[in-house]
Structure 1
Amino acid sequence: MKEDIGHAESDQFGSGVRQRRQELGITLDQLAESSGVSSAALSRLERGILNPSLRNALAIAKGLGCDLSELVQQESAEVVRAGENLRFEDERTGIVRLTLARPSPEVELLSYCVPAGASSARFGAHKRGTKEIFHMVAGRLEVHAPDQVIQLEGGDTATVRADCEHWFVNPGEAPAHFILTILR
């Protein structure tokens, strides 16, 4: 059984292929050569006439040097309403984490509220090159990394390597609120 991507996704995919191909400055013939999909089929696909098989869609993405997901255009905006966020509360520490956005597998935006005196678990090393950006909204926070302890207060921002063990502590007498951006 041949798996196809859906019609709406096909139109988005075709537009994404055309846009990426034009950004790279390559012709249909060049893409046909690198992907193994005929230039006639690529032309029909870009115009939304052809619904590609999953196999061909993957080959085209590879020929363009990108992931398939990059070729399916997203909505111009994604909105998460208050109360719809994924929420986690650590019963032991009282630390609350909200997932604000995850626009791609490589980027995550989180909101943390850390009670006075609370400490997070020790986070193991993330993938090599991962960074975490702490932006303090209110309160105080100590970010612990193997070679240093970073003191932060409301309005401060710190970028920290997260490819090593790390954790945070609220040394203050009031809750600490910070926004964490993870770049993988």
Structure 2
Amino acid sequence: MTELSAPQIGPIIQRQRKARGLTLQQLSGLSGVSKSMLSQIERGQANPTFAVLWSLTQGLKIDFAALLQGGQAVPSDTTIEIVPSEHTPEIRSADGSCRLRILSPPSLAGTTEWYDVEIAGGGRLDSAPHAAGACEHFTALSGQFLITSGASTYPVKAGETARYPVDVPHSISNASHRPARGLMVLLYGKIGQGRAA
């Protein structure tokens, strides 16, 4: 994801807030971001996280991607939202062998999430247990993987989908020597249980 420094983001947020006639307190109420944090962001004294920026764009009703280009409002008749590749958030494992591109909108975090997963040859993505009832659906797009959920491990080759509980320790390993990709969907709670059945 493209990173912006605090001085770049602050003036945009302030300009958009004032254009809507909102006080810091009002924007705080709309976005859930504290008034003190808002003040620090606008003055360039705090570098907001992705989650904070998302909350602010929702409160101001501006497109997240557009925020990076100066904070243009989303036209009311727009029905198709396009997220440029360079604005798609990414998570990398500590050793750099695993890359997850977050494809789902932040508004669904904690409910339904989906990721483009790429793991280097021999790499492994280890995860701690998620909430009770959570499950993952992993479709191998290339290569061959080993999926571990609790005490069970199964191979998954390109074109196959594995569905497994993730309220236990779990992992996705690249069983080949070349980079491999897959699509992972994480479903939480009863939704996850129902889809996994």
Instruction: Answer whether TM exceeds 0.5 for this pair.
Output: yes
Q: Write the deviation string for residues 8-55 of structure 1: whole angstroms up to 9, x where unpaired.
A: xxxxxxxxxxxxxxxxxxxxxxxxxxxxxxxxxxxxxxxxxxxxxxxx
- Give the conservation status (yes or no) of the 8 Å contact 1:110–1:180: yes
Give the counterpart letter for 1:110 in structure 2.
Y
Give the counterpart letter for 1:152 in structure 2.
V
Partner of 2:51: none
Q: Write the deviation string for residues 60-108 of structure 1: whole angstroms up to 9, x where unpaired.
A: xxxxxxxxxxxxxxx7443212221101222514211100113523011
Gap runs ≥5 in structure 2: 1-25, 31-77, 189-197
Structure of larger gyration radius:
1
Partner of 1:128: 132
Give the counterpart letter for 2:181 in structure 1.
H
Q: For 1:35-184, list aligned pairs within 5 A.
A: 76-102=79-105, 104-105=108-109, 106-121=111-126, 123-184=127-188
Gap runs ≥5 in structure 1: 7-74
TM, length-normalised to structure 1: 0.56
Q: Write the deviation string for residues 151-170 of structure 1: whole angstroms up to 9, x where unpaired.
A: 11111111111111111211
- Give the conservation status (yes or no) of the 8 Å contact 1:135–1:157: yes
- Give the conservation status (yes or no) of the 8 Å contact 1:132–1:182: yes
TM, length-normalised to structure 2: 0.52
Aligned residue pairs total 117
Q: 1:85 to 1:173 in 2, by over 3 A?
A: same
C-alpha RMSD of matched pairs (Å): 2.8
- Helix, strand or coil: the match of 1:83? helix
